[in-house]
């Protein structure tokens, strides 16, 4: 390569680097939760959605066994670690014997995170690289819980959004059905299930499925979730079955079906759709870059 072409390549690399940095800085300024997550040590802004759901529903109360499905990069698992283990170190290490013990039954909280992608370690979290539709994953979770079942199952997973709402809603619903299927095998009677949904014209079918398995079903929108997004979260409480047997499920749901739609979080806090004036001159690096990302 001659000298002139080398200069062109170098200038192009410098230009791309500047554009990338400007893009990161623009998002830091535009999305207050995106920057706040990096400032406070969370791997993704979605951590605040779970925190705000808990503020409304107190979902961590009396929980000793929790599962985070589709967990990567791990922000919800970080919240679980913080809430259940009183942990302020978000990323590495394992709990000590002196960590929080549940006052109700003397058991130390156990947390499992499951994802097809690799995850960096999180304090007190047992990470399983596996498929939530696989029986092997079910067995590994129950083995870690020593045969006992989960009090709480979370799923913040979603496909890559296409922008075609009908397609996005359909794919998300299929993921939700898969997460419900594994939940029915690993959850104790009375447990709680929280998962992401995309609201669309077929959402009532999802509600009907959830009522087959749970006594109470709410739909909620955390304050940190953008108003412009179809995203919401379904909070299902009081799982109906001890040892799940599909033949015992009553699929006759009363009509009409009413599901409360709840706003979670302090409405006087930051607006995720608003651009705030800041004095930031540089962007913050991600807390945990992807490990072996499927694409770049």
pLDDT digits (tens, 9 = 90+) for 222-253: 998 888 888 999 999 999 998 755 556 666 66
- The verdict on 133 and 229 lying in the same domain is yes
pLDDT in the model for residue 87: 62
Residue 76 has pLDDT above 80, yes or no: yes
- For residue 290, tell me if it sits in a domain: no
pLDDT digits (tens, 9 = 90+) for 58-75: 999 999 999 999 999 999
Residue 15 has pLDDT above 50, yes or no: no
pLDDT in the model for residue 18: 46
- The verdict on 61 and 171 lying in the same domain is yes
Task: Please answer whether residues 204 and 32 qualify as being in contact, where contact means their C-beta atoms are separated by less than 8 angstroms.
Answer: no
- The verdict on 108 and 18 lying in the same domain is no
| Six-digit token string for 211 | 């009522």
Mean pLDDT of the chain: 81
Number of domains present in the structure of the chain: 2
- For residue 280, tell me if it sits in a domain: no
- For residue 79, tell me if it sits in a domain: yes
- The verdict on 152 and 255 lying in the same domain is yes
- For residue 271, tell me if it sits in a domain: no
- For residue 279, tell me if it sits in a domain: no
pTM of the entire predicted model: 0.80
Does the active-site annotation cover 83? no
Q: Which domain holds residue 120?
A: 41-264
Q: How confident is the model at residue 86 (pLDDT cuts 50, 70, 90)?
A: confident
- For residue 286, tell me if it sits in a domain: no
Given 196, 221, 240, 274, the catalytic residue: 196
CATH number at residue 191: 3.40.50.150
Identify which has the larger pLDDT, 186 or 32: 186
């Amino acid at each position: 390569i001659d000298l002139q072409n080398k200069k062109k390549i170098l200038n192009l690399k410098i230009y791309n680097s500047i554009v990338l940095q400007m893009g990161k800085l623009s998002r830091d300024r535009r999305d207050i939760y995106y920057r706040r997550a990096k400032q406070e040590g969370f791997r993704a802004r979605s951590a605040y959605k779970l925190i705000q759901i808990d503020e409304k529903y107190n979902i961590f109360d009396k929980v000793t066994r929790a599962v985070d499905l589709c967990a990567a990069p791990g922000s919800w698992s970080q919240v679980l670690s913080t809430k259940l283990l009183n942990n302020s170190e978000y990323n590495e290490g394992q709990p000590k014997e002196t960590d929080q013990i549940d006052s109700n039954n003397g058991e130390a909280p156990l947390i499992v995170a499951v994802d097809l992608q690799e995850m960096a370690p999180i304090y007190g979290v047992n990470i399983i690289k596996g498929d939530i539709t696989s029986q092997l994953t079910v067995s590994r979770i129950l083995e870690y819980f020593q045969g006992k079942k989960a009090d709480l199952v979370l799923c913040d997973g979603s496909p890559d959004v296409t922008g075609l709402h009908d397609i996005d809603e359909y794919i998300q619903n299929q993921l939700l059905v898969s997460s419900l299927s594994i939940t029915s095998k690993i959850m104790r009677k009375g447990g709680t299930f929280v998962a992401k949904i995309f609201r669309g014209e077929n959402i009532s079918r999802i509600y009907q499925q959830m009522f087959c398995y749970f006594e109470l079903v709410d739909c909620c929108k955390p304050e940190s979730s953008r108003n412009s997004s179809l995203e919401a979260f379904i909070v299902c409480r009081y799982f109906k079955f001890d040892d799940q047997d599909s033949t015992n499920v009553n699929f006759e749901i009363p009509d009409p079906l009413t599901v409360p739609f709840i706003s979670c979080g302090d409405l006087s806090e930051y607006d995720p759709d608003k651009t705030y004036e800041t004095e930031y001159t540089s962007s913050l690096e991600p807390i945990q870059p992807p490990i072996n990302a499927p694409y770049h």
